[in-house]
């Protein structure tokens, strides 16, 4: 009897570890003092097996979104970051410019520019620890992402 219970326990533990795919979607809304929604961003944590990023560049947290830009998928990693923040634009026409603006929590811009490539790297290593907002504008549409600098 004890062997059967032990076998069932071990069997269920093995099955749960093999078939569990933990992912968390978190949609965050921020409001001003009057109660108006001023920011919306979506955070998705992707398990390693489903990652589109090579294993040597894998970081525990990953922000993915494709809400605002239609077929263009924006991948931002690592988040939180201690230095370089990588931004990848998948399915984006090469000639389509992307404007970016990184601001502090108080709205003060700390970096901005334009890129036409499929990759953008921002060096945050000299920035203070805290929360920043990355605003991307592409083809008349805009989306804001919460970035955490450790």
Q: How many CB atoms lie within 10 A of CB 135?
A: 16
Residues 96-122: pLDDT tens digits? 999 999 999 999 999 999 999 899 999
Residue range 71-96: mean pLDDT, rounded: 88
Decide which of 130 and 49 is more confident: 130
Return the C-alpha torsion angle 109, 115, 121, 124, nearest 10. Answer: -10
Residue 61 pLDDT > 50: no
In the chain, where are the structural domains located?
23-149
CB 75 within 8 A of CB 57: no
Residue 36 pLDDT > 60: yes
- pLDDT at 44 (0 to 100): 54
| Arithmetic mean of pLDDT over the chain | 74
Residue 21 pLDDT > 50: no
Q: What whole-number percentage of the chain has pLDDT above 70?
A: 58
Q: Of 87, 82, 149, which Cα lies nearest the Cα of 118?
A: 87
Q: Of 45, 2, 41, 42, which Cα lies nearest the Cα of 21?
A: 45
Residue 55 pLDDT > 60: no
pTM to 2 decimals?
0.58
Task: Write the DSSP symbol of residue 94.
Answer: T
Contacts of residue 76, Cβ cutoff 8 Å, sequence gap at least 6: 62, 63, 64, 85, 86, 87, 88, 134, 145, 147
3-class SS of residue 104: strand
DSSP H/E element including 20: none
* Cα dist from 137 to 27, 29, 98, 126, 144, whole Å: 20, 19, 6, 25, 9
CATH 2.60.40.3080 fits 23-149, yes or no: yes
């Amino acid at each position: 009897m004890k062997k059967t219970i032990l076998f069932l326990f071990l069997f269920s533990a093995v099955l749960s570890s093999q078939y569990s795919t933990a992912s968390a979607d978190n949609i965050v809304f921020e409001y001003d003092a009057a109660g108006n929604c001023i920011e919306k961003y979506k955070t998705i944590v992707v398990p390693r097996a489903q990652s589109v990023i090579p294993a040597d560049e894998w970081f525990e947290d990953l922000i993915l979104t494709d809400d605002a830009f239609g077929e263009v998928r924006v991948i931002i990693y690592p988040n939180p970051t201690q230095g370089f923040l990588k931004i990848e634009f998948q399915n984006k026409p090469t000639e389509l410019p992307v404007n970016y603006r990184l601001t502090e929590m108080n709205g003060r811009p700390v970096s901005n520019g334009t890129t036409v490539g499929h990759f953008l790297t921002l060096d945050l290593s000299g920035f203070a620890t805290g929360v920043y907002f990355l605003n991307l504008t592409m083809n008349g549409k805009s989306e804001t992402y919460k970035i955490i600098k450790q």
